[in-house]
C-alpha cells in the first residue's frame, strides 16, 4: 500500500539529492504533482496502483478543458513520466502507464482519436447492399462500441456474442476475460450480419469465428487494416485513421461524456487493474448502463 503524498515526497527528494535539480525546477515538479494528486483524490483514487493510462488520459483531457496550452500540458506529461518511471525503478509499480503517451519535440500528442462526427461518417461507409459491406459495418460498429483491440475483434467466436443480453465476451492480453456492453447500434448491425451476410460468406463451410473472410477463416490483422484505410478514404476524413484509433475514440468519448474512470477501465480490459479488488463491486449491469448513457452509439 503506497500513499500518494509519501511517494511524491520520495520522488522530489530523489530529484533534489540524486539528480541535483534546481529549487525552481523542483518547485515546478511539485506544483504539477500536487495538481495531479488533487485530480486523483477527486476521482477517489488513493493509491498509485489504482492509476493507469486511462486515468492519465482523463487528466490530460481535464487540464486541456481548463485551458492549459499544449506546452503546459507537455510539461505535465514530462513530470508524470519521470514520476512513474521512478515508481517502476523503486518497484512500487511493475509498468509505466505513461509509456504509450508520445511526446514529440513539436509538443504534446495524445493518442489518436476521432470526433463523434468523424466516427459517424466512417461507420456509414460500408455498402449495406453487399454481404461484405454488412460484415464490415458490423465489425466497425463493434470495434467502436466495445473498444476492442483488433486481435480481439478478428478472433471473436460466435459463441462469445450475447446479443439478447447486449454483451460480448472477450479474451484480451494474457487470455484475460472481460465482458463488455455493445450498445444498440452494434447489436442491430450484428443481428443483420448473422442473419443475412454471414451464411452467404460461409458458403456452407462451418466456422466458429464470428467474422468470416475466406473459407470460413477469420480475417487477418492486415486484412482489417486495409478495410479501415478503404473506408477512411471513402469518408473523406483527413486525419490518419488506424484500427486502434477507434479504441482510443471509445475511451475518449466515454470519458468526455462523463463516464466514470473505473467503468471505462474495466471495459477496456486494462492489464494494470485486472486483479485490483476495488473494481469488483462494479457489476455488468452497471457497465451496461454506463455504456448506454455515455457512448454516442449506445
pLDDT tens-digit readout, 41-52 = 899 888 888 888
pLDDT tens for 3-31 read 777 888 888 988 888 777 778 888 888 99
Q: Residue 258 falls within a domain, yes or no?
A: yes
Mean pLDDT, the chain, as a whole number? 83
Mean pLDDT of 138-155: 93
Q: Which of 132, 244, 284, 286 is catalytic?
A: 244
Number of domains in the chain: 2
pLDDT at 111: 53
pLDDT at 275: 28
Check if 162 is active-site. Answer: no
pLDDT tens for 176-186 read 788 899 989 99
Check if 144 is active-site. Answer: no
- Whether the predicted pLDDT of 273 surpasses 50: no
Check if 247 is active-site. Answer: yes
Write down the residue that cell numbers 466512417 correspond to: 122
User: In whole angstroms, what is the distance from residue 293 CA to residue 184 CA?
Assistant: 12
| 89 grid coordinates | 525503478
- Whether the predicted pLDDT of 270 surpasses 90: no
Is the whole model's pTM more than 0.75, yes or no?
no
Do 178 and 44 share a domain, yes or no? no
Q: Report helix, strand or coil for 28.
A: helix
Check if 76 is active-site. Answer: no
Check if 81 is active-site. Answer: no
Q: Which of 58, 76, 178, 270 is catalytic?
A: 270
What's the CATH code of the domain at 27? 1.10.150
pLDDT tens for 57-66 read 889 888 888 8
Which residue range(s) make up the domain with 194? 116-294
Confidence of residue 125 (pLDDT cuts 50, 70, 90): very high
Mean pLDDT of 159-184: 87
Check if 149 is active-site. Answer: yes
First-residue to last-residue Cα distance in the chain: 37
Do 49 and 130 share a domain, yes or no? no
Q: Report helix, strand or coil for 157.
A: strand
Do 48 and 135 share a domain, yes or no? no
Q: Which of 149, 178, 198, 295 is catalytic?
A: 149
pLDDT at 105: 40
| φ, ψ (nearest 5 deg) of residue 170 | -125, 140
Amino acid at each position: 500500500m503506497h500513499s500518494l503524498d509519501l511517494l511524491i515526497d520520495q520522488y522530489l527528494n530523489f530529484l533534489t539529492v540524486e539528480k541535483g535539480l534546481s529549487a525552481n525546477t523542483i518547485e515546478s515538479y511539485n506544483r504539477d504533482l500536487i495538481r495531479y494528486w488533487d485530480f486523483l483524490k477527486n476521482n477517489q483514487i488513493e493509491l498509485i496502483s489504482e492509476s493507469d493510462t486511462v486515468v492519465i488520459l482523463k487528466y490530460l483531457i481535464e487540464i486541456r478543458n481548463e485551458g492549459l496550452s499544449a506546452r503546459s500540458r507537455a510539461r505535465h506529461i514530462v513530470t508524470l513520466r519521470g514520476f512513474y518511471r521512478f515508481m517502476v525503478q523503486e518497484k512500487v509499480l511493475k509498468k509505466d502507464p505513461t509509456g504509450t503517451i508520445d511526446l514529440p519535440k513539436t509538443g504534446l500528442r495524445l493518442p489518436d482519436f476521432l470526433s463523434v462526427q468523424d466516427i459517424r461518417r466512417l461507420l456509414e461507409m460500408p455498402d449495406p447492399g453487399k454481404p461484405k459491406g454488412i460484415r464490415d459495418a458490423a465489425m466497425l460498429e463493434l470495434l467502436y462500441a466495445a473498444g476492442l483491440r483488433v486481435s480481439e475483434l478478428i478472433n471473436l467466436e460466435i459463441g462469445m456474442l450475447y446479443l439478447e443480453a447486449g454483451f460480448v465476451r472477450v479474451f484480451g492480453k494474457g487470455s484475460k476475460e472481460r465482458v463488455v456492453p455493445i450498445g444498440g447500434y452494434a447489436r442491430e448491425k450484428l443481428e443483420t450480419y448473422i442473419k443475412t451476410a454471414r451464411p452467404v460468406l460461409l458458403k456452407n463451410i462451418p466456422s466458429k469465428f464470428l467474422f468470416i473472410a475466406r473459407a470460413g477463416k477469420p480475417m487477418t490483422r492486415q486484412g482489417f487494416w486495409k478495410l479501415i484505410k478503404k473506408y477512411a478514404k471513402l469518408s473523406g476524413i483527413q486525419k490518419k485513421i488506424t484500427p486502434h484509433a477507434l479504441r482510443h475514440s471509445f475511451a475518449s468519448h466515454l470519458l468526455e461524456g462523463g463516464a466514470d474512470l473505473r467503468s471505462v477501465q474495466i471495459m477496456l480490459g486494462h492489464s494494470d487493474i485486472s486483479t485490483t479488488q476495488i473494481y469488483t463491486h462494479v457489476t455488468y449491469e452497471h457497465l451496461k448502463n454506463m455504456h448506454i448513457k455515455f457512448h454516442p452509439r449506445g
